[in-house]
Structure formats: structure tokens, C-alpha cells
Amino acid sequence: METFYLEEPSLRRKNEAIEFINEFYEYNSDINGTGGLQRFLDNYEGWLEKLEDDYNRIPDEVRVPARTYFLIRSNDNKIVGMINIRLALNENLKKFGGNIGYCIRPTERGKGYNKINLYLGLKVCKKHEIKEVLLDADKDNPASWKTMEALGGINTREYFDDENSHCIVKDYKINVNESIEKYSSEYEDKIEHITLRNYKDNDYNYVYEVKKNAYKEYVIQYWNEWNEEDQKKYFENFINSVKENSYIIQYDNMDIGFYNGNIIETGNYEIGNICIIPEYQNKGIGTKIIKDIITLYKKNDIELQCFKTNPVKKLYERLGFRVYKETDFHYKMKKVKEGV
């Protein structure tokens, strides 16, 4: 079964993202819903900065706050589409463009992917408490307006637009909550709920709190106290040394934890920390993340350590890790690579 998710653009997809846009040029296709990526092919880093500005923008008559995502097919980790969601509308957008723009790369069209793209986009809208979205499409672009209709879009107007697209345009509106409720049975099992996004500097406080929540009890158990000042210093050194290999764990694009891991000098892969906030523990999320890591690094031995009293040891054992060393407070565990 194929599953999909929306991913916040980051540096690690630079080459793929450029290749994605080039495919549209190769097929002479319209480009829509990319947050302007096609204008930044020689400055991807600049585009990421622009997205950050879009994210935090105060709406005015020229620009509004927006989110841009890649639609990723989990099975082969490929960008198959993009979506751009305007979180507020100015008078211009109300007339033309609406809340959402999207695209599917030419070689992946006609497989129902855009319907999943829009469903996921509506879930983002719900998260931002948007009740109704406006959308439009050229009448001669049935793949677009049929997507809207497939998610319960109501055609509110059809008119000849002589300002922008110079053709007949169809306007739609979708009630966000009703659509999600009505179509969840069709799309929920096509969604990858648990995903990782790259750590960003403004995640600093969030990650500190997540780690504190996870480890404070053990620190007190073994060292008798939690000294906030020392811990903050320790954290600063820690995060600065691992941030390139750090991720925020998300559930439906909502932050629910922290993960870091990397290849170490011995060539082994080391799982540094995996912390999930309490409300999302015991739901199989940690298992899924570690299983994905095991698949990704199947050619490496994988190492980790845990506090001796942490019940998570059972989970690691279930996934094939074995204790190879003990220190005063920790078990060091290893899973030997496949075929050994």
C-alpha cells in the first residue's frame, strides 16, 4: 500500500526539488503550488528563507502567510507533488487564487495523488482553524477542478477572467471539517502519519523541554538532582554538536518529539536520543521510527544506550538490540547488521 505525507522543505531535498521542477519544464507543464520554487532554482537556500518569511508574514493586500510542502510518497521517499496553503486571504486572493495551489509532477499524474495532496492540505487548514477554503481552477484544467469536487468542493461561480488567466475560471469552496469527516475513510489509510522533519534553530526550547520531560526522572534517580542551569549548558553543547543530524518527530505535521542519530567513527550508526511526548507514547510510534532506521541503515551495526531503569530496554530488545556493555547507569546495546 502506498502512503503519503506533507514535508516542510529543507536543505536535504535540494537536488530532488530542482529535479522535480525541471520535470515540469521538460513536459511543458504549468507550475502551481510550489511557493515560487521555480524562480529559485539557482538559490534554493534563498527559497527556504523566503518560505520562512511566508510562514511568519502579517497579511496585507500584497502578501499573506502561507505554508508550502512537498508531497512525499513514503514507499520510495520521492517528491511527487507540492501544495501551497494561504492561511489568510486578502481581497485579491478572494477574487483569484484562493487558499490553495497544488501540483503533481507530470510523470505521477492521473493516479489519484492530487486528491490525497488536497486532503492533507485540508488537514493543515484544520490545524490552523480555517473553516472554509476557497479554490479556483481554469475550466480547461479538469484534473484540478475534479480534485476539488472529489473532496466535496462546491462550484460557486464560473466566469471569464480577463485579468489573470484569460479563460473561463471555476470557483469552488470547501467546508474543511465536513470534507475531512466525509472523506477520512477514503484517505486516512493512504497517509503516513508519523514523519520526521529537520531540526531548526527555533526548535531549541521545544527540544530542551522534550528532553527534560524524558530524562529528568532518571537524572534525579542517578545524580540526586536536576540542576536547571547545568542542564541548560549541557543541552547547548549537545544540540550544537548534533543539530545537523537532528529531527523533530511529527504526527500529522504536529511536533510530538525529538530524534537524533548519525554514523560514528567506527562506521556504526548511533541512535542518540529518541523522545516522544507522553500523550503520544505507547502507540507504536517509537517502534516505527526505529524500524525505519533499521531499514535505512541495514548495512550498518546500530548502537544506542539507555538508562538501566528505563523500561524502553524491552522495546529495543524486541527490535533485535542486545546489551554489549554496562556502565554504572547505562546499558549499551547493539543490533548487528543484516546477514551477520
Ligand X SMILES: CC(C)(COP(=O)(O)OP(=O)(O)OC[C@H]1O[C@@H](n2cnc3c(N)ncnc32)[C@H](O)[C@@H]1OP(=O)(O)O)[C@@H](O)C(=O)NCCC(=O)NCCS
Contact 107, 23 (CB under 8 A): yes
Which range touches ligand X (CB under 6 A), out of 2-10, 43-51, 110-118, 259-267?
110-118
Residue 126, interface with ligand X (CB under 6 A)?
A: no
Nearer to ligand X, 38 or 231 (CB): 38
Residue 144, interface with ligand X (CB under 6 A)?
A: yes
Residue 113, interface with ligand X (CB under 6 A)?
A: yes
Among 104, 176, 256, 276, binds ligand X (CB under 6 A): 104
Contact 5, 192 (CB under 8 A): yes
Backbone angles phi, psi at 118, to 5 degrees: -70, -40
Binding string, residues 12-41; x marks residues near ligand X by CB under 6 A: -----------------xx-x---------
Tell the smallest beta-carbon distance from residue 29 to ligand X (Å).
5
Nearer to ligand X, 169 or 194 (CB): 169
Q: Please count the residues of this chain forming the interface with ligand X, following the rule CB under 6 A.
A: 21
In one letter, which amino acid is 269? Y
Nearer to ligand X, 29 or 175 (CB): 29
Residue 268, interface with ligand X (CB under 6 A)?
A: no
Residue 201 CB neighbours (<10 A): 7
Among 96, 112, 208, 235, binds ligand X (CB under 6 A): 112
CA 94 to each of CA 31, 184, 219: distance values in angstroms, whole numbers, following the listed order = 20, 27, 54
C-alpha cell at 317: 530488545
Among 84, 114, 246, 253, binds ligand X (CB under 6 A): 114
Contact 172, 135 (CB under 8 A): yes
**Residue ranges in 198-321 assigned as alpha helix (H):** 204-223, 228-242, 285-296, 312-318
Backbone angles phi, psi at 197, to 5 degrees: -125, 155
Nearer to ligand X, 7 or 270 (CB): 7
Residue 141, interface with ligand X (CB under 6 A)?
A: yes
Among 56, 58, 91, 110, binds ligand X (CB under 6 A): 110
Contact 17, 44 (CB under 8 A): yes
Contact 3, 187 (CB under 8 A): no
Please, what is the Cα angle at 192 between 188 and 197, to 5 degrees? Answer: 140
Residue 115, interface with ligand X (CB under 6 A)?
A: yes
Nearest to 140 by CA among 116, 165, 162, 113: 165
Which range touches ligand X (CB under 6 A), out of 109-117, 204-212, 247-255, 290-298?
109-117
Give one word for 247, left, alpha or beta, with left for phi > 0 and alpha for psi -120 to 50.
beta
Residue 213, interface with ligand X (CB under 6 A)?
A: no
Tell the smallest beta-carbon distance from residue 176 to ligand X (Å).
18
Among 130, 137, 194, 276, binds ligand X (CB under 6 A): 137
Q: Which residues pair with 160 in a beta bridge?
A: 168
Tell the smallest beta-carbon distance from residue 141 to ligand X (Å).
5
- Contact positions toward ligand X, by CB under 6 A? 29-30, 32, 102-104, 109-115, 137, 141-144, 146-147, 150
